[in-house]
Structure 1
Amino acid sequence: MATATTPTPAEAVDWPRVTREVADDLAVDASVRDRAGGPPFDEAARLREAGLPALLTPPAPDGTGDPGAAWRSACATVRELSAADGSIGELLAHHCVLAWSARFLGAPAEPFERRIAEDRWLLAGGIELPEAEAGPGLTAEPGGNGGYVLRGRRGFDAGVTVADRLVVGARCTRTGDLLVVLVDPAHPGVCAEPAGDRVGQRLTGSGTVGFDDVPAGADDVLGAVPRDEHAVAPCTALAPLALRLMLTQVALGVAEGALAEARDVSRAAQAARPSGTDAEDPYLLLAYGELATAAHTAAAVVERATDALARGLGAGAGLDVDGHAGIAVLVAAAEAVTSRSAVHITTRVLELTDGAGFDRFWRNARVLTAHTSSARRLREVGDHYLNGTLPRLPRL
């Protein structure tokens, strides 16, 4: 578990260099670690040591920081790390979005965010409710002194086996509101079970967590989402969009990492050819031209959605329904384009490199995009463009 330290002032750290060094470190043995699987204890320790969980925390809530700049920096960090190791990129993607939880809820954020930065917490969990067929999820029964007792089980996609704190959504048994609660996974009533073998994204630390009469004090409740979905504020409804966009950054990073490594392999193969032979295979050039263009196209759409969401975060409680709708459409477009590009690029890379050591990129891309319906996202974009229909505020 992380211990309290005195962090180096953020402005004194060259964060792009730190991110690059961590990414280079992860890339060295990414294939070996992917084959081994298991909880990412060592990887999480690398992230904490580098200070990245603290970096991916919102700026000071006193108005001196720029939420948009912080969000863009976080996206760039997650995308670069994902190019080296998609699993660790997803681990940080979930942490980053959860670190914004208090801001999304319009609740006092300073104590929660200060603890993340000072103690270098790595967050995991999820505030959205599970689908009905997945079971009742978590419940929060009111207890003494304004606190609650958590009961139930939830599956989470990343971080639950290595997290310092869990941020979870639990349905209040009295009001029906969704409470967002901070939980210490070291409590004896919390039991995390690692997920079994996964096709891809094997090192995210995913698993199922059981909560057996886990107490949560009033100070552990970060905020609440009304039971009536029509009463949910647009800034609160940014939370699921932020996670969707962050996971899109991960998928894009995986595709870019696969393409860059394939290029290195092809360059080495060309350099090994005897002198005087034709080193410019026109079909190979055509293939790389097609794949590079697909990556550039996805990146352009993702960057536009990133900028829009950054502006939404900057607006905070001032975000209106129309502003939220504009962000939702751009996020949907980014998902649709990136999902197709990531699967296409990682599939073609297998063909260009004979598959040697590149299957992990394809498997990771498949897992990341498995639950993203491009057709559904494109219908949302088309309905907005043709008919002016506003996307519904997401259900948390």
Structure 2
Amino acid sequence: MGHTKGVWGSSPSDSYERLADRFRHTFHRIREGSVQRELNRKLLYEEIGWLKDIGFGAVRIPKEKGGFGATLPEFFNLLIELAEADSNLPQALRIHFGFVERILGLPDGGQRDRWLKRLADGALIGNAQTETGESIVGSYATTLSTREERLKLTGVKYYSTGTIYADWIVVGATNEEDEIVTAIVPATAEGVDIADDWAGFGQTLTGSGTTTFSDTPVDKDEVLSRESYPKYGTAFVQMVHLATLAGIARAAARDVSAAVAERRRTFSHASAARSAEDPQVLQVVGRVHSQAYAAGAIVLKAAEALQRVCDLEETAGDTEYEDKVKDEADVEVSQAQTVVTGLTLEAVSSIFDALGASATARSKGMDRYWRNARTIASHNPLIYKERIVGDYTVNGTRPSIGWQTGIANK
């Protein structure tokens, strides 16, 4: 009997299965411990180490530079599979992969080559961008300044997702010319303090805590200008969230199917003697699977739009045309966000309709699907995305490149 690809649709490329097989054994190992990690809040040091050992952080690095050369559709399909195993991991690696795209877009030269080698050798990148308190939208209170003939970084960052697992940290800062720059420092550098104080109800293992920089030295060759940010960078980091949501939906669909198949208890007013034969229960399971299928299909379709922009980066062409391709990709991702979020949240809530009150037992960890999906869905607020899509399609208003939080500078 031949081997099929299951119910999730065809692979994004003819070579995808060969690529994915390199990682699936590790994904399976990760999935096996996901409930216990969630219940005991066991951080992901071991699992991150497994991913480093198989070179997952270099999946987008070209083969000739020591990576796997995955396309963006292939990459996001892999993230869906990883999120199905444990949704904390794609989010913890989100800025790492965003940084990889930034390095891939740099012109040929020493900085690009240096970082491609580090990344191919397994270096992982953490995130220190967001600030709270009195920081103003469009600027950073964190400063990069020259003191004692050295660049020094000073400031406090929150929601530093993945930094607790990282080798290097990318830090958004304001330099002495009042320009936004990115400083890159070793996680073990002098003056770096990483706190595990993320207190959200979901995605609790992402290491999204507070990072403090106190006169941290910065090598002048490890500073990037804002112009180095890739044209598709904003959409890319949002797509990591969407792939994570699609993976959560798949995991919930998988678990509800297995639980219904095993379930022996029923209700006096049920439609069958066993849940596995109850048409109403089967309808719920079928709907959850359909929602997970649709979420994944939408993510992969949006990934094709990002690939078109990525391909434009490699050629000099019509600027107006390139801007239009980029804007359309941003809008596609915004459209995807509004729908994928709804599909996933409904799917992870509906599983309890098929399983009954016993599924709410904390030991089963079913609640993590809703908590994690709701936490991810709260990022880069959904309510603005429909307006952005409408404003573009009606008025031609271009989506903004990048976003920041803070107090409005009125």
Q: What is the TM-score with the length of structure 2 in the denominator?
A: 0.81
Q: How does 1:299-310 map to 2 (within 5 A)?
A: 299-310=296-307
Pair 1:315-2:323 in alignment: no
Contact 2:256/2:285 (8 A) holds in 1:
no
Residues 186 and 373 (structure 1), Cα distance of their counterparts in 2 relative to 1, 3 Å cut: closer
1:94 maps to what in 2? 95
SS at match of 1:182: strand
Question: What per-residue deviation string (whole Å, max 9, x for no partner) do you get for residues 136-167 of structure 1?
Answer: 4421113577x521111111342111211112
SS at match of 2:212: strand
Aligned residue-pair number: 368
1:267 maps to what in 2? 261
1:228 maps to what in 2? none
1:73 maps to what in 2? 74
Q: Which runs of 5+ in 1 are unaligned?
A: 1-10, 226-231
SS at match of 2:93: helix
> Alpha-carbon deviation of 1:177?
1.8
Question: What per-residue deviation string (whole Å, max 9, x for no partner) do you get for residues 325-375 of structure 1?
Answer: 101101101111111111111111133233342111111101111234333
Contact 1:37/1:202 (8 A) holds in 2:
yes
Question: What per-residue deviation string (whole Å, max 9, x for no partner) do you get for residues 242-269 of structure 1?
Answer: 1111111111111111111111111222
* Residue number among 209, 217, 227 corresponding to 1:207 in the alignment: 209
1:193 maps to what in 2? 195
Pair 1:85-2:89 in alignment: no
Contact 2:331/2:389 (8 A) holds in 1:
yes
Q: Which runs of 5+ in 2 are unaligned?
A: 1-14, 405-410
**What is the letter of the counterpart of residue 194 of structure 2?**
A
Question: What per-residue deviation string (whole Å, max 9, x for no partner) do you get for residues 280-323 of structure 1?
Answer: 32212221232222222222221121011112112116473212
Q: How does 1:85-234 map to 2 (within 5 A)?
A: 85-104=86-105, 108=109, 109-118=112-121, 120-126=122-128, 130=131, 133-134=134-135, 136-142=140-146, 148-172=151-175, 174-221=176-223, 223-225=224-226
SS at match of 1:392: coil
1:33 maps to what in 2? 37
SS at match of 1:195: coil
Residues 129 and 370 (structure 1), Cα distance of their counterparts in 2 relative to 1, 3 Å cut: closer
**What is the letter of the counterpart of residue 299 of structure 2?**
V
Contact 2:171/2:182 (8 A) holds in 1:
yes
- Structure 1 CA distance for aligned equivalents of residues 380 and 127 of structure 2: 20
Contact 1:40/1:203 (8 A) holds in 2:
yes
- Structure 2 CA distance for aligned equivalents of residues 79 and 141 of structure 1: 40
Instruction: Answer with 288-297 or 210-219: which moved more.
Output: 288-297
1:281 maps to what in 2? 278
**What is the letter of the counterpart of residue 225 of structure 2?**
A
1:59 maps to what in 2? 62
Residues 280 and 157 (structure 1), Cα distance of their counterparts in 2 relative to 1, 3 Å cut: farther
> Alpha-carbon deviation of 1:105?
5.7
- Structure 2 CA distance for aligned equivalents of residues 15 and 394 of structure 1: 31
* Residue number among 325, 329, 332 corresponding to 2:331 in the alignment: 329
- Structure 2 CA distance for aligned equivalents of residues 327 and 106 of structure 1: 23
SS at match of 1:124: strand
SS at match of 2:277: coil
> Alpha-carbon deviation of 1:389?
2.9
> Alpha-carbon deviation of 1:14?
4.9
> Alpha-carbon deviation of 1:80?
0.6
2:369 maps to what in 1? 361
Percent sequence identity over matched residues?
23
Residues 366 and 134 (structure 1), Cα distance of their counterparts in 2 relative to 1, 3 Å cut: farther
* Residue number among 21, 30, 53 corresponding to 1:49 in the alignment: 53
- Structure 2 CA distance for aligned equivalents of residues 281 and 133 of structure 1: 56
- Structure 2 CA distance for aligned equivalents of residues 212 and 369 of structure 1: 33
Pair 1:243-2:237 in alignment: yes
> Alpha-carbon deviation of 1:41?
1.6
- Structure 2 CA distance for aligned equivalents of residues 61 and 215 of structure 1: 33
SS at match of 2:352: helix
- Structure 1 CA distance for aligned equivalents of residues 64 and 333 of structure 2: 25
Please provide the CA RMSD for this pair: 3.0
**What is the letter of the counterpart of residue 149 of structure 1?**
K
Contact 1:165/1:183 (8 A) holds in 2:
yes
Residues 188 and 372 (structure 1), Cα distance of their counterparts in 2 relative to 1, 3 Å cut: closer
**What is the letter of the counterpart of residue 78 of structure 2?**
T
Instruction: Answer with 25-34 or 262-271: which moved more.
Output: 262-271
2:12 maps to what in 1? none
**What is the letter of the counterpart of residue 97 of structure 2?**
C
SS at match of 2:164: coil
Q: What is the TM-score with the length of structure 1 in the denominator?
A: 0.83
Residues 237 and 133 (structure 1), Cα distance of their counterparts in 2 relative to 1, 3 Å cut: farther
**What is the letter of the counterpart of residue 70 of structure 1?**
T
Residues 326 and 163 (structure 1), Cα distance of their counterparts in 2 relative to 1, 3 Å cut: same
1:229 maps to what in 2? none
Residues 115 and 144 (structure 1), Cα distance of their counterparts in 2 relative to 1, 3 Å cut: farther
- Structure 2 CA distance for aligned equivalents of residues 50 and 165 of structure 1: 19
Residues 381 and 106 (structure 1), Cα distance of their counterparts in 2 relative to 1, 3 Å cut: farther
